[in-house]
Structure 1
C-alpha cells in the first residue's frame, strides 16, 4: 500500500493470538482511517485540496490546468487531478457509487455529456446560479450548454466538446459527397472500379451506434424523445434513419467488419488504405499524419453528410462537463476552480495538446487553434448546428435499447426496428421492463 504526503503505514508486527490484542487493533482502525484520510488534503495547512475526477488524459493538458489553477488561487486551494477509469462506463460507475455513499472527498466531477440529467435528478450535483452561472455561460457555445442543463437549470459547465466530420481521400473522391445517398453511390462506383471504397462508421453494439442513429434522426428533422423528454418521438424521421443505416450495411460501402467496428477500428481501416470515407472525430487527423504520411497527403475533411439535401446535418456532440458535487465540503471554491479549469488558456491547451475542441466560441478565431485545427471552420459549423443525445436520467437504458435493436446494422428492419425501440424507450422512461 502506498500512502503519500508523509503518512506512513504502521510497520508490520508478529501475529499474536490473544483475542484481547485483536480487539484493541480493531478499536484503533477508525482512528487510523481518519489519519490516512487526512493525507489526501492540505487541511492542516489551512489550504483545502479540491479533488477533480476526470477521464485519464495522456497529453498532460488536464494536469497542466490543475497546476495552473492551483497557483492562480493564491494559496486558497490546491486542485488534485484524479484519473477515472479509461472506459466511460467505469468512470460513471465509480462516481455513482461514491456519490450514492455521500462521499465528501469528491469536489469537481468530469461528467460525460449524457450524465448531467441523471446526476441532477439524483441530487448529486449542485445547480449553477448567480455570478458563477453568468460566468459559465458567457461566450460558451449554445449546443454544449444544452448538455449541462436539466429542467431549465444549469448543473455543469462545458469543459470541452467534440463532433464528427466526414474524412475522405481526395485521390479517390475529388469532390466530397453532401448526402448519405451520394456517398453510398460514390462507394458503389469505386467498388466497380476495384478501388478502395469502404465507408468507415461505428456499427458495433455500443454507444457509437446510438450516436449514429441520433445524428441521422436529428438531421432528418426528428428526435428520439419529445421536447419534455417524457415519451418517445421517433416517427417517419426514425424510419428514414434506420433505412439509411440498413442501406449502407447492405451495400458495397460497408466494411466487412462493420458490426464490430468502433472509432479506433475505423481509424485503422482508413490508415490501412482500404477505405475511401470515414465518419469520425478529429483525432484521426494527427494519427493519419503520423502513421501514414503518404496517404495523409490526400486526407481531406468535409461536413457530416446530410440526410436530405435541403436540410443541414446535425451531428451528435460529445465532450465533458464539469459539475460540483453536492457533498463537497468547499462548494464555493469548487465552482471557482471549475471555471478556472475551463478558462480560455486551459481550453486552448486541451485543444492543442489533447485534441479536444473547445466550448468557448472566441477560441475558434484564435490563430494558434486555427493552425493546429485546419478544419476548425467545419468543426465550428458542425457544433453550431449540432444535436445532443436525449436529455433524460434514463439515457443509459435508452442507449442500450437503441444499440441492441439496431445491431447488426445489416439486420435492421426499419419499421419493426423503430417500433421495438419505441416500446423499449417507453418502458425505460417508465422504469418498466427489462432492458437488454
Structure 2
C-alpha cells in the first residue's frame, strides 16, 4: 500500500499538465482496443496510482506523436487486477500492450508465456542503475521479463517521546513494549496479522532475517527450514504477548495505521505511506513519529525486509512491441520515478534517485529504505505464488495458534503439493 505526498510539480511537470489535458481527450477518442485511428496506441494496464496520468502525459509528449500511451486503470484490489489480466491473456488478447504486475506475479506470467523477454539494449537500459533487489523480482529463470517501476519495504515505526532509542531485534521490541505497558505508557505492537498477503509479508521478512528459506532456489521444493521455524516462533511470541493488538488476527495495513494515529501504540511494522498519512491526520503525534530498520529476528542477526512494488511488462501478444518497450522505459525512467516518489509516495527502483536533493523533504526516511533495499528478502519466486501465498496465510492464521514445529511441517507438506500441481491458476 502506498502513501501520498503532495508537492508542487517542477517546470517540466507544469508543461506536462497541459499535455495531460490533450492526453485525456485523446484517450477518450481513441478506442482502448487498438489503433484504428491510424496512429500506434500503446495500451497500458495499471492499477490506480495518484498522479500517474501526469507521467503518461509526459511520456506522450516525449514520444512526439510516434505513439500514444492510453492508460487503462485496473481494479483497486490485487486479486481483481490479476484476474482481469489473466483471463484476457489466457485468451490471447492482442489489445493489451503494457502490464502493471505486482512483483509476485512476474514468474507466473513469464512461465505461462504471456510476457515478452527484455533483451539487447532495452534490457541493458533497464538494468543500468536499478537496485539488485527490485531487479530480482523482474527476472525468471535468469531472464529479464519486466522493468521495475516502483518498489517498497516496511520499516519499524516508533515514537521518540516514548522510546528514544528504537529496538534492533524482535525480542528487544517485545521486551521494551512490555516494559512500557508496565509503566502505563503506549505499548501495543501493531502488525498485519489478518489472513491475507500482509501476514505472508511479515513471515517472509522474519524468515529472511533468520537466514532461512521457504522454497528452494529453483522453486521446486518446499524447504521451510530452521530459519522459517524461528520466524514462526517470533510470530507466536508476539501473538501470545500482552502487547499484541487485540485485533491482530484481523489487522491490515490501513487498519494498523489508523490505530497508531490514535496514540496508544508503541511500535508498528508498516510501509512508508504511513509517514505522510500521520502528518495529515495527527500533526502533534507526527512530531514524534520516527522510523528505524525492520528489527532483526535475533540480536546476532541482521534485519531485512520484504520487497513490494510494481513491475512493467510487455505482453507477448502485443502488436506494438517496439513502442511498448519504449513506453515502459519512459514510464519508469529516473525523472518519472522521482516525480512519482515525490507526488505519489511510491519508492523508486533506480538508486540514483534517492540521492536527488528534491527527495529530502518528502522522503526523510529514504536512507533507511535504501539500506533495506540493499539487503532484501524477496518473496518466494514461483509461478505458483498465488497458491503459495494463500496457503501460507491460511496456515499461519490466526498467529496465536502457531505451533512452530508442527506448523512448519504442515507448510512443507501443503506447499509441496501446491508446487507439484500443474498449470497456471485462474
- Aligned position for 1:371: 361
Bigger Rg, which one: 1
- Aligned position for 1:16: none
Give how far 1:429 is off.
0.5
Give a deviation string over 1:317-343, Cα, whole Å, max 9, x none. 100000000111100110011000001
| Residue 166 in structure 1 maps to residue 159 in structure 2 | no
Q: Which runs of 4+ in 1 moved over 6 A?
A: none
- Aligned position for 1:148: 138
Q: Secondary structure at the match of 2:361?
A: helix
- Aligned position for 2:102: 112
Determine the C-alpha separation between the residues in 1 that align with 2:32 and 2:235. Answer: 50
- Aligned position for 1:43: 35
- Aligned position for 1:249: 239
1:209 pairs, out of 199, 206, 211, with 199
Determine the C-alpha separation between the residues in 2 that align with 1:39 and 1:359. Answer: 32
Q: Secondary structure at the match of 1:273?
A: coil
Asked if 1 retains the 8 angstrom alpha-carbon contact of 2:33 and 2:95, the reply is no
Give how far 1:308 is off.
2.1
2:283 pairs, out of 283, 288, 293, with 293
Asked if 1 retains the 8 angstrom alpha-carbon contact of 2:186 and 2:265, the reply is yes
Determine the C-alpha separation between the residues in 1 that align with 2:31 and 2:226. Answer: 58
2:47 pairs, out of 32, 55, 58, with 55
- Aligned position for 2:412: 422
- Aligned position for 2:256: 266
| Residue 80 in structure 1 maps to residue 70 in structure 2 | yes
Asked if 2 retains the 8 angstrom alpha-carbon contact of 1:249 and 1:409, the reply is yes
- Ranges in structure 2 where 5+ consecutive residues have no aligned partner: 1-23
1:393 pairs, out of 375, 383, 388, with 383
Q: What value does the CA root-mean-square deviation take over the aligned residues?
A: 1.8
- Aligned position for 1:348: 338
Give how far 1:309 is off.
2.0
Asked if 2 retains the 8 angstrom alpha-carbon contact of 1:41 and 1:48, the reply is no
Asked if 1 retains the 8 angstrom alpha-carbon contact of 2:239 and 2:400, the reply is yes
Asked if 1 retains the 8 angstrom alpha-carbon contact of 2:116 and 2:315, the reply is yes
Give how far 1:43 is off.
3.1
2:181 pairs, out of 191, 194, 208, with 191
- Aligned position for 1:12: none
Give how far 1:71 is off.
1.2
Determine the C-alpha separation between the residues in 1 that align with 2:37 and 2:396. Answer: 56
Determine the C-alpha separation between the residues in 2 that align with 1:348 and 1:276. Answer: 32
Determine the C-alpha separation between the residues in 1 that align with 2:31 and 2:369. Answer: 43
- Aligned position for 2:92: 102
Q: Could you state the TM-score of these two structures normalised by the residue count of structure 2?
A: 0.91
Question: When the two structures are aligned, how many residues end up with a matched partner?
Answer: 400
| Residue 413 in structure 1 maps to residue 412 in structure 2 | no
Q: Secondary structure at the match of 1:332?
A: helix
Higher relative contact order (CA 8 A, sep 6+): 2
Give how far 1:74 is off.
1.4
| Residue 69 in structure 1 maps to residue 59 in structure 2 | yes
| Residue 139 in structure 1 maps to residue 129 in structure 2 | yes
Determine the C-alpha separation between the residues in 1 that align with 2:34 and 2:380. Answer: 40
Q: 1:267 to 1:259 in 2, by over 3 A?
A: same
Q: Secondary structure at the match of 1:83?
A: strand
Determine the C-alpha separation between the residues in 2 that align with 1:333 and 1:5. Answer: 21
Give a deviation string over 1:250-299, Cα, whole Å, max 9, x none. 10220000000000011001001110101001100011111001111111
Give how far 1:370 is off.
2.1
Asked if 2 retains the 8 angstrom alpha-carbon contact of 1:364 and 1:376, the reply is yes
Determine the C-alpha separation between the residues in 2 that align with 1:41 and 1:416. Answer: 51
Q: Secondary structure at the match of 2:313?
A: strand
Give a deviation string over 1:160-190, Cα, whole Å, max 9, x none. 0000000001111011000000000011111
Asked if 2 retains the 8 angstrom alpha-carbon contact of 1:5 and 1:39, the reply is no
Q: 1:405 to 1:369 in 2, by over 3 A?
A: same
- Aligned position for 2:5: none
Q: Could you state the TM-score of these two structures normalised by the residue count of structure 1?
A: 0.89
Q: Secondary structure at the match of 1:403?
A: helix
Range 152-161 or range 191-200, more displaced: 191-200
Give a deviation string over 1:180-205, Cα, whole Å, max 9, x none. 00000011111111111011100000
Give how far 1:41 is off.
6.4
Determine the C-alpha separation between the residues in 2 that align with 1:297 and 1:157. Answer: 37
Give a deviation string over 1:102-157, Cα, whole Å, max 9, x none. 11110000000000000001000000000100001000000001100000000000
Q: Secondary structure at the match of 1:294?
A: helix
